[in-house]
Structures are given as C-alpha cells and as structure tokens.
Amino acid sequence: MDSRTVLVLLWMLLSSSTGIKLDGNGYVDVTIAISSRVPQDNTLIDKIKDMVTKGSIHLHQALDKKVYFKEAKILVPPHWNSKDFTKARAESYEKANIRIDNANPAYGDEPYTLQYDECGAEAQFIHFTPNFLRDDKLIKTYGSRGNVLVHEWAHLRWGVYDEYSETKPFYYSNGRIEATRCSKNIKGQFYDESRQPCQTDPQTLLPAKGCKFFPNKYQNTDSSIMFLPSLDSVSTFCRENEHNYEAPNLQNKKCGKATRTVIFEDSVDKDALRSLKPLLSSPPAPTFKVVQRMHRVVCLVLDVSGSMTGSRILRQQQAATHFLQTIIEDQASVGIVTFSDNANTLSPLTTIDSESTREKLIKLLPKVAAGGTYICKGLTLGLQVLKNDNGNVIGDEIIFLTDGEASDNINSCVPAAIESGAIIHTIALGNKADKALREMAEKTGGKFITASDDILSNQLLHGFSSLTIPTGDQTKDPVQIDSAGKKTSDWFNGTILVDKTIGTKTSFTITYETSLPDISIQSPSGSTYKQVQMRHDEAAKTVTFKVPGTAQPGDWKYSIQTTISQSLTITATSQAARADVPPIVVKAHMNQQFSDGTKPLIVFAEVSQNYKPVIKAEVWATLESESGSAQELQLLDNGAGADAFKDDGVYSRYFTQVKKGRSSLKVRVKNLDGQARFTIQKRGGAPYVPGYVVNGVVELNPPKPPVSEEPLEVGRFTRIVTGESFEVAFTGTTPPNFPPNRITDLSAEIQEDSVLLNWTAPGEDLDYGTAKSYEIRWSFDLKELRFNFSNAHVFNTSAVSPQEAGSVEQHSFIPNITIQNGTTVFFAVQSVDKVNVKSEISNIAQASKMLPGPKPTDMPGLDLKLMFIAISVCLATVVIIGIIAITTWALSRRKLSGS
C-alpha cells in the first residue's frame, strides 16, 4: 500500500463513522426508527422525545453524572406525510439502535433488547411497540419509560444482562430461599398472584410455580436498574460490593461480575467512562432531528478498466442485470456511471416505473473494458449524477465496484465523498481492489462486499442482491431462496423449494459462460416452462424466468443442458406471498468487520419470521477469502461455545481458520427434513412487576397482557444470504491460536453422595477440535471459585477424556466430604489445550442438597402473615385484659365510694 493510501485510511479511521458515539459526555448518532408497518401517528414522535429526554436524566444519575443523551435522530417511515421531516442521510431501519415496531409474539408490549454476543459486547437493537409508548397504564407495570430506556440501553450499549430470572425466580442459599435479584438489599415478600402464601414444590422444595416476589414499594437501596427499574428508589447499577453472585440470573451466567464492573471494565465505553469527569450541573436536554427516507436514488459506479476484461466484465454485467431486473424496487431512481481513464455517464437518474424501463437500463450496462483505474473520476461523476435530481446527494446511494488499486490520488476525493451525505456501498472484486473500499462503506453507512474470481460461487450476484435498504416491512423485501452452480458439458439439474411464506415476484436467474444452454423449469403441479417463455439477454449471457402471479409452493425442478463445457449458475428470489405475513428471513454477520487477530471472530446467522425464532434448522456458513479458498462451518444454536443462547434462532460459531486479507460471508439455511420449529421464547426485557408490598399489604399491578401462542410448525424452506465482508490482519504467517472456549452451560445436581455435572465440550482452539483435559473444582464459597479458582477443592479427572467440541459431557464425582442437608455447593470447570493453555473459568453452577422435612427457613410472605396474625392476637389480648382490668378497678371504686 503506498503512502497516500495509508494517509487516507488513517484519515478515515480518525473521522466519524456511523453508529453511536460519545461526544464529550453526551451520546450522539442514536437512531430511533419507526417501522413502515406502523400507521402514521405524529404523537409517537412526541412520546419518543419525552422518553429519551427523561431517560437522559436517569442515565446521568445512573453512571455518576458522567453521561447523558445529547442527540438523537428519529427515522419515520416513507409513507408518513409531513413537511417537517428532513431527508435521511445514513440512517436506516436496518441499522437503527432503537426500533418502534409491532409486537414480538413472545413479548407483547414488553420492551426488550436483542443481544446474542458475549458479555460486554454491543447488542443488536432495542424494541419498543407503539402501544408501549402510547399506553400510560403500562407505566405502572414496567416503570417510567425513561427508566425502562436506561435498563434497555445498558443491554444495547454495554452488553450487560438482566439480574432477575423468570425461569429461576428463587434459589437456595445455604438452606434459605432467596428471590433471584441484585442486590439482596431489595426487600420483599413471597405470595402467589391471589395474594396467598406460596405453596412449596415437593420436588425442588422451592416456592411452587405461580409464586412471585413482591418487592416492598419503598426501599433503602438505590440499586439495581437491571433488576427492577420500576422501583422509585432504584437509580443506579449494581456495584461490586453489593453484587449477588449466587443469583441464577443471566448477568451471573454470562458475565460473572457486577453490572457496573462490566460497564467500566469490559464495555465499548470503558476507556471513556474511566476518564470522563462528572458534569457539574444537570445535562442539557437532548436535541432531536426527525428524518425520512423516501424512494431510493442509486447510482451504479462500475469499473471498466483493463483488468476487468474477460469474465469479470461479464460477471459485473450479469450481477448488475440481476439487480436492475429483480432487486431494485419500483419507483426507485437509478443512474449508471463507468470509469477507467475517464468517467462516463451511461444513464442519468431514471425512475423504475415499468419493465421496459428496467430493460433500457440493462441494455446500457458496460460490455467492454480498457484503461486505468481512476477511482476519483468515477466517484466524482457518480456523486454529480446523484445531485442532478434535487441539488444534493444526502441519503442517496452509490454502488461502487472496482477490481484494482487506484491509479489516482484517492485522498483528493474520498474524504469529500464520505462527507457528502451519500451512502456508499462498495464491492471489491478480486484480491487487488483498493483497500479504501471497506472504510468508505463503513464511514457512510454502506455495505462492504467482496467477491472472488470463482464464477460458480456466484458471489458477485449475491453481493448485488444484498444491497437493499429495508424499512421494517419485510413483506416488501426480496428474499434469496437458493443458488447453485456447476461446471459441466452435460446436464445441470436440481430443485428449488418455494415455501408457503413466499411466492410473489418469484424469479429464476440463470447465467452461462459461453453459449446458451437448453433450459426447462417445472412447477410443483407439473407445468413446464421452456426457454421461449423466459427473457434472454445474450450480451449478459443471462436468462430470467419470472413466474406469473404467485408461485405455487413446493419443489420447482430445473433442467439445464449444455453441449460444451462451461460454468452455469441459477439463483432464485421471491417476496412474501401475502401482504400480512412476513416471510422467513435470515440475517448474517460477523462480530467484527475488521480483526487484528487478538479477538476471536464469530459468525452469526439469525433465522426468524416476524420476530419468531426458527430453531432446529440446518445452517451452514461459507467464508471465502479474496484468493478464492473457502471454508464451510456448520453454525449451531446449542447455547455453547460462540452461541450465547440455546434455541433462540441465532446460530453461531467461532471462525478460527482465518486467512489474511478480505473474506466474504455467505450463509445457507435449510429445513428439508421438517425438523425446524418456531419458538415463542422470551429471554429478558423490561421486568414486569406483579405488585408491591405497601405497609405490609400487597397492592397488585394491572395483569400482564397475554402474549399470542401461535402454531409452532415450520414448513420446508431454504434460504441463502450474503453478509457484509470482513478483513483480517495479524502478524506472522499463521492464524493466532486461541484457548478452548469458555464453558457457559455447566449445570450440577447432587444425587445422594455424588454430584452429576453436565456441560457442552469445548474445542482445542475455541470450539474447533478437542481439548486435552479438564480441571474441575468445587467450593462451599462461590467467590472462592470466582476469584481464587486454584485454591478450591479439586475433583480427580484423570479418567475423563474430553470429547469433540459440541459433544455432551456428563460425569459423576464424589466429593471427599459429606454434604449436609440444606447445603449449597458451587462448581466450575476449566479446559486445557495441548500446549497447556487454559480456558476462562466456566459459569459457576450451584446445587443444593435438600431432603424432605421441615419447610425451608425463609418464606417471607408466610412469615409476615403469621407475624401479623400473632401480633394481632397479642394486641387483642392486651386490649381485652386492659378493658377487664379497667372495668374491675372502676367497679371496685364504686363499691368503695358507696360504702
């Protein structure tokens, strides 16, 4: 890389990027997007402003007066009408930090944050429903909207987890029953929802199902927001000296430390929070900008330099044809610019208003290539074409493709392009494309895509297909069903499955390399479509078949025959079959867009339909380097290794066999055997409080609104999706070695005199391979395991041979002492690899030995009632005795006076 490229890259890294940032003490670039499924209601904008304004005050109080909300942008849907909205720049629904959308079936109106990365990592987004913002009755149920926002912000920004648990609301602590909470200083009582004393579960000897912890309305503690933000006294996060390490909540399982410790030591803001000085006065009120993204305005800026000759210019033409024919939506405006030694406008901005308009644009696509790679000439002309519609380029898009390093000084144009307000998607074709492409996309809110020279992988076509700007209504977004390729001199046959959630605007795109093959496509009912019914673009060597109406669900069979050896590909896309039923969708991404090798790379694929997770699907990721070498990984939803939660529809895996340079990500999802299921799974969110104890009396809150229970069946389906590309740079010639991954699902059960431990086996290198050995320890003191693991009691594991990563490990051990009834014991595991590098200590599992007998010593609801009855009886007795004594004394006086 020459010095001018280094300078511009440094400039970009120091300049602002999209996403939340701290500007002094204030958070800026916070984007709150309203889904296009939400009907226009301008009062929602006022409600959002009020929530953020009040939330800023709570946030300022919660973190030592160090931070607050300074600026926020509210993105309204394209169909909302008002002259008060300004044009959106990089803001989009897909990249918004906070979403206002219809309810998730598992949560109803309960706010929640989608997080599935490691502790301390930023989450995906916060979800509020319009009803939560409008219905003031929900304030009593969940607390003030400002406090709820701070609770969810801690999930989103700092990667902390909830300190309550709906699945394990109670636990034993050395014979006493405790409510799962942080801190233990929060006082309350146990009752069922009819305000009767709780019954005991005969199996666990814990409070039976239906028992709730009712906190006292008035507390003597100010923490913690991650437990109960609805309590008036709660204003801060749990500190290390008050953290309840024993509570079986997600904060302990995922982080194993106090919330404040994570925020100040592990979060993205850790350095800033430690160095920031508290504000000496109250923070200023946040400022807001209401923005709107209308129809798309896109300019294709395509490289036609000499290195694009041959297969590259053809593949560029095929991918752009597919984009114009199938992906870009109606009413969008599209222009085309090419560049080499000079830049040329092949088409000014043209509105997509008919099939004939699409055809005219496709015919203009470049077919020949020659000359140098003058990036600035192409970029400058592309911006000029975008400016011709309204005088500016704010919120408009450039799709910029190149296969070579710049022949000109990119420092003369790239910074200005970044500052222009346009969104710049960049596509790097081959391994010599300029290094500035990734940063240019990152700094403008665009997508960065790489594509190798492997024709059969279809990467370039997939890349163009992924360049959409969703608005929140997934029924209007294109879905990639499947894709396949083959080099053959004979038959290329296969099946593409159209499932019940899609079918509108279904198209099959076939590309060939040399000469037109014979193509036949058969519907599930047996109707056969021949080549004469398909569109053939001889110049682009592309055949497109658009299914009339709504495609019939089932297996569509294709038969392609060639008489000469050539590469053939087929790609199928579609949209939702019904306007009221979103399709099954897949979102794929890496946890890092740029890695220096010090932190493991993780592949994520989220499979869902209208927020309902799809579980038990078969998910494979293909990671292909710019040199063309590819690696396949099966992604897992098993709650182990890189996967944060089992059966949440997010499939994950560590990527350990990394290559230097840029790589692409493609994910293929299948449910051909019918094993996949929908799940209505709730994992966190703003806690619902059933009621409070006020002066010893339970006051119930309004009942929690019921959530829908929808059918759990998922039909057969396939999907293929392209994620943004990523770049890896590490010292040396070999990838870094990592220790075995941390075990996060250790569980323990005391069985008579032995302990049964279960966990998922880690690998030799994170979740790849097989570890060498385990070190398992136990203690009566949780903090000893947490902070002084090597001093805890050790189990003899010489007979335990670790299994391959992902396998179930189940082993029984006998402690060298007798565990007494009522005793709680804690357990933890470390894995060791072949060079004796140890993993992080696992989550700490706990088990209690509880035998039937006297009821547990701590049932606060029962104690309070009995105490109240006893005191009442005593008081009544005292009153009666007093009355008798006074009456006797009075009668005695009368008798004496009478005598």
pLDDT at 682: 82
Per-residue confidence band for 698, with pLDDT thresholds at 50, 70 and 90: very high
Which tokens go with 61? Answer: 């109080």
Which residues lie closer than 8 Å to 34 by C-beta, 6 or more apart?
Answer: 44, 74, 75, 76, 77, 80, 100, 101, 472
User: What number of residues does the chain have?
Assistant: 899
| Confidence check: pLDDT of 4 > 70 | no
Residue 508's alpha-carbon distances to 326, 457, 536, in angstroms, are: 10, 16, 12
Cβ count near 197 (within 10 Å): 19
Q: Which secondary-structure segment (H or E) carries 528?
A: strand 528-530
Three-class SS state of 894? helix
pLDDT at 296: 96
The string of pLDDT tens digits covering residues 285-300 is 999 999 999 899 999 9
pLDDT at 859: 53
Mean pLDDT value of segment 393-400: 97
Cα distance between residue 15 and residue 17, in whole Å? 7
Q: In what order do the strands lie in the sheet with 479-488?
A: 479-488, 566-576, 502-512, 542-546, 535-537
The string of pLDDT tens digits covering residues 324-367 is 999 999 999 999 999 999 999 999 999 999 999 999 999 999 99
Q: In what order do the strands lie in the sheet with 845-848?
A: 793-794, 773-779, 824-832, 845-848
Q: Are 221 and 233 in contact (CB under 8 A)?
A: yes
Angle separating helix axes 43-62 and 145-158, nearest 10 degrees: 70
Cα distance between residue 32 and residue 79, in whole Å? 17
Cα distance between residue 57 and residue 69, in whole Å? 8
The string of pLDDT tens digits covering residues 155-209 is 999 999 999 999 999 999 877 899 999 999 999 999 987 888 899 998 888 999 9
Name the H helices within 770-859: 782-787
DSSP 3-state helix, strand, coil percentages of the chain (rounded to 5)? 25, 30, 45
- Pairing assessment for the beta strands 448-451 and 423-429 based on DSSP bridges: parallel
| Confidence check: pLDDT of 387 > 50 | yes
Which residues lie closer than 8 Å to 421 by C-beta, 6 or more apart?
Answer: 89, 90, 392, 393, 394, 395, 396
Per-residue confidence band for 2, with pLDDT thresholds at 50, 70 and 90: very low
- Pairing assessment for the beta strands 287-292 and 71-76 based on DSSP bridges: parallel
How many Cα atoms are found within 13 Å in the side-chain-facing hemisphere of 211?
26
Running DSSP on this structure, what letter comes out for residue 626?
T
Cβ count near 169 (within 10 Å): 19
Catalytic (active-site) positions: 152
- Pairing assessment for the beta strands 125-128 and 112-114 based on DSSP bridges: antiparallel
Q: Where are the beta strands (DSSP E) in 255-376?
A: 287-292, 297-303, 333-339, 343-351
Q: Which secondary-structure segment (H or E) carries 384?
A: helix 375-387
pTM value is 0.91
The string of pLDDT tens digits covering residues 44-90 is 999 999 999 999 999 999 999 999 999 999 999 999 998 899 999 99
pLDDT at 713: 80
Which residue, chain included where needed, has tokens 């029924």?
475
pLDDT at 898: 44
Q: Which of 785, 650, 671, 648 is nearest to 718 (CA)?
A: 671
Q: Which of 429, 452, 570 is nearest to 511 (CA)?
A: 570
Three-class SS state of 670? strand
Share of the chain above pLDDT 70, in %: 92
The string of pLDDT tens digits covering residues 234-251 is 999 999 999 999 999 999
Per-residue confidence band for 402, with pLDDT thresholds at 50, 70 and 90: very high
Per-residue confidence band for 883, with pLDDT thresholds at 50, 70 and 90: low
Share of the chain above pLDDT 90, in %: 79
